[in-house]
Amino acid sequence: MVDVVLFSAEGCHLCERARAVLQTVMHEHPFALEEVDIGGDEALEAKYREWLPVVEIEGERVFTYHVHEAALVRRLEAAQACAETRSS
Per-domain boundaries in the chain: 3-87
What pTM, to 2 d.p., does this model score? 0.93
CATH code 3.40.30.10 for 3-87: yes
- Phi, psi values for residue 8, rounded to 5°: -145, 180
**pLDDT 10s digits, 17-74:** 999 999 999 999 999 999 999 999 999 999 999 999 999 999 999 999 999 999 999 9
**54-57 sheet: strands from edge to edge:** 32-37, 3-8, 54-57, 60-64
